[in-house]
Structure 1
Amino acid sequence: MKFTSSLAAASVLASVLASPIALTETSPLAKRAVDAALFAKLKFYVQYAAAAYCTNNADSSGTPISCATGNCPDVQAANAVSVLEFDSSILTDMRGFLSVSTVRQEIVLAFRGSSSIRNFLTDLNFGYVNFGCSGCSAHAGFATAWYEPRSAILAALKTTRAQYPSYKIVITGHSLGGAVATLAAGDLRSQGYAADLYTYGSPRVGNGAFASWVSAQPGVTARVTHVNDPVPRLPPMLIAGYRHTTPEYWLSNGSATKVDYTLADVKVCEGISTTGCNAGTIPTLDLDAHRYYFLAATSCAPDLAFKREEQMSPARRADGSASDVEILSWMAADAAASPSELAATT
């Protein structure tokens, strides 16, 4: 379905918000709980994602990973040291680092989010490119953001892996960094690297085939969302065919700025079209819930907002950007969609 006018979009939005959003067969709350070991990892790897926002971790390879704002204390305690810090700003402004911790015996690849959230998520063309497997397609802008630093990352990872062959590989990122981390995980796993993936507030990255492919690969694939964070609800499912990796670990209660979650607060939703957790909440464009994932994840970052006046990302065709009403209506329509409607757009 496509919304041909702001008036039509507003009508859809109003009708959906007028009644409670029901869980669908595609998105049941799982009957299992998160165990203590996984919960600890969900809380830990977001600190690497947060550290990727700090400028001191973007231009000084060979130095300890640190956060001047104090939001990565466990990473600092693990004596994580970068072996590569990349800043691919020509097209997508993708930054991040590859690091090693001899304390935890792991290699971590972290991608930074972006302040240009709306530029990537509300382009009306929602362009796809082939990625990963037969039938797999991924968001064109996200793919460009991965391909820019890819060669440097692969070279550094090969050297680091040879030096530390028994170390676990973990890939992480927040927001748009989570989207690129998902692409990196799919790519690296397909090359034989055993890697775990932890993303926070990631948007949808590709079509159903892509989401299923990444989710089925060996290794942990953990996608964390927070109450009504709007970013994981874009790009939309019904009008653009995007899907999420599974499972989803939803920080399900409290205010948008809550960080003191317990294991019991985490709800699990299964399925690439899940609307039982974050995607079933009341639509909003407020980014407060996006900024907080167990901690102030973006405290090293510039202010994040859905700004319409910014230029479109040069990695995408600038066919136009949706209005606020249209964006909210996409979210509402996805949340209210039946399993058969969602299946028709996979």
Structure 2
Amino acid sequence: MTSTNDAGEPLSISAELFDELYHYFKYASSAYSPVCLRPNGNALVLQFGNHLSDIQGFIARDDGRKEFVVALRGSASVTDALLDANILLVPFLTPGVKLPPHARVHAGFLAAWDTVALQITAALTAARRLHPGHRLVTVGHSMGGALATLAAVSLLQLFPASPMLDQTRTYSYGAPRVGNAVFAAHVNAEFGARAYRVVHTDDGVPTMIPTSLGYHHHGIEYWQHADPPAPSTTLRCTGGGGEDPCCSASVPSSGVTPAHATYLGITVPTPFCL
């Protein structure tokens, strides 16, 4: 994996990392499917959802990689749009989870996560009894990516890894900013390089909620700055603690552009469910 050159400028990623980002986006795209019996060709543990919040997704078990993958769908309804629009920054209030005192997150995303959190944690509790060596991975596109971040923060505390087990990882694609700088710093401290935030060219959703409202991106950004998708056109951006001025933040947000609907050559919502 490459990072930056001596001048601190982003460099392109390895073929292995590109394949990894591609692999997990297939879960994120599949989360839009009402039923996904074989997510990415693996076992379905739970298809979850909440009718009031219109949040849905699934938990898959990949025995080859020894992991459970929690995939959350992005916005697909008026209800989701209303949650997206609730941009008030609020304390992170989820049972069993404690963040730094001044950490704040998007009120709509938190409300959405809380409607499915108990389903997910109950299913993982039961599944991990049978497969205690499986690590946890969360994935999502658009609002689903924001929810995947909240899920990862929650699950890391609820299911702490043993010294011999890899920690929880999270992959978001085209996700908006989720919380304030304190929250972003917490995610960076807890996950480090295990938080993957992918942006496609001029997708404006990741920068739609401006930093002027107190928001701050977390994690290492992987910016596919040009098409077609390839390791050579995807940069690993580490500056600014999540707000690297050399990467997608350098492009003024145009909202939902065509780039938001396609990631790594896959058009949302292509299902990978067989």
| TM superposition score normalised by structure 2 | 0.84
Q: 1:101 deviation in Å?
A: 1.7
* Residue deviations 1:143-186 (CA, integer Å, cap 9, x gap): 01111111111111111112111123211000000000000111
Could you tell me which of 144, 148, 156 is aligned with 2:123? Answer: 156
Corresponding residue of 2:142? 175
Corresponding residue of 2:4? none
Maintained 8 Å contact 2:10/2:246: no
Could you tell me which of 220, 227, 241 is aligned with 1:247? Answer: 220
Maintained 8 Å contact 2:12/2:235: yes
Corresponding residue of 1:103? 64
Going from structure 1 to structure 2, the CA distance change for 1:206 and 1:147 (only over 3 Å counts) comes to same
Could you tell me which of 70, 76, 79 is aligned with 1:115? Answer: 76
Instruction: Name the SS of the counterpart of 1:182 in structure 2.
Output: helix
Could you tell me which of 246, 249, 252 is aligned with 1:279? Answer: 249
1:142 aligns with 2:109: yes
* Residue deviations 1:72-120 (CA, integer Å, cap 9, x gap): xxx22xxx12111111121x21100111022332210000001357544
Alignment of 1:1-346 (within 5 A): 30-57=9-36, 63-65=37-39, 75-76=40-41, 80-90=42-52, 92-116=53-77, 119-122=82-85, 126-131=87-92, 132-191=99-158, 192-193=160-161, 194-218=167-191, 220-238=194-212, 240-254=213-227, 260-270=228-238, 271-300=241-270
Going from structure 1 to structure 2, the CA distance change for 1:30 and 1:171 (only over 3 Å counts) comes to farther
Rounded Cα–Cα distance in structure 1 between residues aligned with 2:255 and 2:10: 30
Rounded Cα–Cα distance in structure 2 between residues aligned with 1:152 and 1:105: 21
| TM superposition score normalised by structure 1 | 0.67
Rounded Cα–Cα distance in structure 2 between residues aligned with 1:244 and 1:297: 24
Rounded Cα–Cα distance in structure 1 between residues aligned with 2:144 and 2:152: 12
The amino acid that maps onto 1:287 is: T
* Residue deviations 1:18-67 (CA, integer Å, cap 9, x gap): xxxxxxxxxx964554233322211110000001001113xxxxx422xx
Instruction: Name the SS of the counterpart of 1:56 in structure 2.
Output: coil
Maintained 8 Å contact 1:208/1:272: no
Q: Which runs of 5+ in 1 are unaligned?
A: 1-27, 58-62, 66-74, 255-259, 302-346
Q: 1:275 deviation in Å?
A: 3.0
* Residue deviations 1:179-232 (CA, integer Å, cap 9, x gap): 000001111112314211111000000000101111221461000001110110
Rounded Cα–Cα distance in structure 2 between residues aligned with 1:204 and 1:115: 18
Rounded Cα–Cα distance in structure 2 between residues aligned with 1:287 and 1:88: 28
Rounded Cα–Cα distance in structure 2 between residues aligned with 1:29 and 1:230: 25
Rounded Cα–Cα distance in structure 2 between residues aligned with 1:122 and 1:143: 12
Going from structure 1 to structure 2, the CA distance change for 1:253 and 1:294 (only over 3 Å counts) comes to same
Q: Which runs of 5+ in 2 are unaligned?
A: 1-6, 93-98, 162-166
Q: 1:269 deviation in Å?
A: 1.8
The amino acid that maps onto 2:18 is: F
Alignment size in residue pairs: 248
RMSD over equivalenced CA pairs, Å: 2.1
Rounded Cα–Cα distance in structure 2 between residues aligned with 1:203 and 1:87: 21
* Residue deviations 1:284-306 (CA, integer Å, cap 9, x gap): 234210011013342359xxxxx
Which entry has the higher C-alpha Rg, 1 or 2? 1
Maintained 8 Å contact 2:208/2:255: no
Rounded Cα–Cα distance in structure 1 between residues aligned with 2:203 and 2:111: 25
Maintained 8 Å contact 1:248/1:268: yes
Query: Higher strand fraction: Structure 1 or Structure 2?
Result: 2
| Identical counterparts, % of pairs | 33
Going from structure 1 to structure 2, the CA distance change for 1:286 and 1:183 (only over 3 Å counts) comes to closer
